[in-house]
């Protein structure tokens, strides 16, 4: 399962970053040894010893409280040792500066550790919220292989307005993907309202139009209940796909969402809707006529659902990511391989900087006799 794949990428790169991290952690010691050595090796007129208070100040940024105090004590002892060699270094003033800076550095280190702990707890809550909002999808549903990908545009973000879900219903496997317009907690709340509504109604509504009407009602109620002067109304693009047991075809209801791609025998087809349907919570303005398209989806076919963050990723020249051409050049690949390479190539194409959240779901209709894949 490719879920919160950004964390996995960091883990792969960790060995290459161990050496710089060790250098940063040892920098207060290196600075102390350097200043002390220069103070002993150079004439007293240069007075490198006056730089010793900088060592505990630097330690406060990377060390806990006790090691910071210990380094300050070592600097103080070094200054006393220097005074035995050079009697007119102004030792009392430098020693007082070392003590004062060490105490301030210890307090700063204490505050830093408190803030890091608070940030850690906040991230735990955000991770839990993401697991509820975008819970890991099953690797296999009936005869389908399923994989998902989520990338936040902001490096430290955990959740956003993009969403997806899969439901194994009596009417077939139903997939939802969408994108709430807006940012911040209101967008996350609207996405949660849509996903929770889908999780309940995907099993009860025999027709995709009935599911969409429920989602339309849900996001409308959320928009009314959430009073936000910066964004008085919320709306979302969404796409629902229904694949009956055994495959053969897929029904698609596209409400203003980017069209999915289907790969069959190496050929890529863009599934544009025959008649556009309005995005969620815009039916009162654009009408509530929802169109369902039926497309062949046979054994071995693969479908890619995605949000507009994929196709709107730009390179340095401002050119959009050519998703259909990229998928055509990729050729046959499992859903996991497809999303792994999509993640890698999007980061490379954008120079490592994403301007929008990205969500994608890859679904493949398994061929008869295909061996089971371990999770």
> Are 215 and 168 contained in the same domain?
yes
Tens digits of pLDDT across the chain (375 residues):
444 434 333 333 344 446 678 888 999 999 999 998 998 888 877 888 889 999 999 999 999 999 999 999 999 999 988 888 777 667 888 899 999 999 999 999 999 999 999 988 887 877 777 777 778 888 999 889 999 998 876 655 556 788 999 999 999 999 999 998 876 667 788 888 999 999 999 999 999 999 999 999 999 888 888 766 555 578 899 999 999 987 789 999 999 999 999 999 889 999 999 998 999 999 888 888 899 999 999 998 999 999 999 999 998 888 999 999 999 998 888 999 999 999 999 999 988 877 788 899 999 998 665 555 444
> Are 138 and 225 contained in the same domain?
yes
* CATH number for 226: 3.60.40.10
Annotate 85-149 with DSSP letters as a single string: H-TTS-HHHHHHHHHHHHHHHHHHHHHHHHHHHHHHHHHHHHHHHHHHHTPPPPSEETTEEEEEE
The rounded distance, in Å, linking the Cα atoms of 274 and 272 is 6
pLDDT for the residue 19: 66
> Are 151 and 47 contained in the same domain?
no
> Are 282 and 166 contained in the same domain?
yes
**Any idea which residue has 């991230």 for tokens?**
123
| Last-in-domain residue among 91, 125, 159 | 125
Q: How many helices (H) and strands (E) does the chain have?
A: 10, 11
Q: Length of the chain, please?
A: 375
- Kindly state whether residue 8 falls inside one of the protein's structural domains: no
CB-based contact 242:255 (threshold 8 Å): no
- Kindly state whether residue 374 falls inside one of the protein's structural domains: no
| Last-in-domain residue among 125, 156, 172 | 125
> Are 87 and 189 contained in the same domain?
no
CB-based contact 267:200 (threshold 8 Å): no
* Structure token pair of residue 80: 């006393």
* Structure token pair of residue 301: 């076919």
pLDDT for the residue 16: 45
CB-based contact 281:218 (threshold 8 Å): no
pLDDT for the residue 331: 82
pLDDT for the residue 2: 46
The rounded distance, in Å, linking the Cα atoms of 59 and 329 is 51
- Kindly state whether residue 6 falls inside one of the protein's structural domains: no
**Any idea which residue has 């087809």 for tokens?**
269
> Are 147 and 106 contained in the same domain?
no
Cα 344 to Cα 101, 163, 175, 339: the distances in Å are 46, 20, 24, 9
- Domain of residue 174 covers 134-365
- Kindly state whether residue 371 falls inside one of the protein's structural domains: no
> Are 86 and 175 contained in the same domain?
no
* Structure token pair of residue 43: 């004439």
> Are 94 and 162 contained in the same domain?
no
CB-based contact 284:274 (threshold 8 Å): no
- Kindly state whether residue 47 falls inside one of the protein's structural domains: yes
The three-point CA angle 125-126-127 to 5° equals 90
- How many domains does the chain contain in total? 2
| Last-in-domain residue among 125, 154, 187 | 125
pTM for the model: 0.71
How many alpha carbons fall within 13 Å on the CB side of residue 340? 9
CB-based contact 1:137 (threshold 8 Å): yes
> Are 106 and 161 contained in the same domain?
no
> Are 303 and 191 contained in the same domain?
yes
> Are 121 and 139 contained in the same domain?
no
Q: What confidence tens digit (pLDDT) does each residue in 189-240 have? A: 888 899 999 999 999 999 999 999 999 999 988 888 876 655 557 889 999 9
């Amino acid at each position: 399962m490719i879920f919160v794949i950004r964390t996995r990428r960091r883990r792969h790169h960790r060995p290459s970053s161990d050496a710089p991290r060790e250098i940063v952690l040892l920098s207060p010691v290196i600075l102390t040894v350097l200043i002390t050595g220069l103070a002993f090796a150079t004439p007293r007129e240069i007075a490198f010893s006056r730089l010793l208070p900088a060592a505990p100040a630097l330690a406060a940024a990377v060390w806990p409280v006790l090691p910071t105090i210990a380094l300050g004590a070592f600097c103080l002892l070094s200054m006393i040792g220097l005074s035995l060699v050079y009697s007119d270094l102004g030792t009392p003033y430098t020693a007082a500066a070392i003590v004062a800076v060490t105490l301030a550095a210890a307090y700063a280190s204490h505050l830093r550790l408190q803030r890091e702990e608070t940030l850690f707890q906040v991230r735990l809550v955000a991770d839990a919220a993401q697991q509820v909002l975008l819970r890991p999808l099953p690797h296999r549903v009936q005869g389908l292989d399923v994989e998902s990908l989520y990338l936040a545009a902001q490096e430290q973000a955990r959740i956003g307005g993009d969403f997806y879900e899969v439901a194994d219903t009596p009417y077939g496997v139903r997939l939802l993907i969408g994108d709430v317009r807006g940012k911040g907690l209101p967008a996350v709340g609207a996405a949660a309202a849509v996903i929770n509504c889908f999780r309940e109604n995907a099993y009860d509504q025999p027709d995709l139009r009935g599911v969409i009407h429920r989602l339309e009602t849900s996001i409308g109620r959320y928009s009314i209940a959430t009073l936000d002067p910066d964004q008085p109304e919320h709306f979302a693009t969404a796409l629902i796909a229904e694949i009956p047991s055994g495959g053969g075809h897929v029904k698609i209801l596209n409400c203003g969402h980017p069209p999915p791609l289907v790969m069959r025998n190496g050929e890529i087809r863009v599934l544009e809707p025959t008649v556009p349907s309005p995005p969620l919570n815009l039916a009162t303005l654009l009408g509530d006529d929802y169109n369902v398209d039926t497309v062949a989806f046979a054994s071995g076919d693969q479908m890619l659902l995605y949000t507009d963050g994929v196709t709107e990723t730009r390179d340095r020249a401002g050119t959009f990511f050519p998703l259909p051409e990229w998928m055509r050049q990729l050729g046959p690949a499992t859903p996991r391989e497809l999303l792994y390479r999509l993640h890698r190539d999007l980061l490379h194409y954008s120079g490592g900087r994403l301007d929008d959240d990205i969500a994608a779901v890859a679904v493949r209709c398994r061929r008869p006799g295909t061996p089971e894949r371990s999770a």
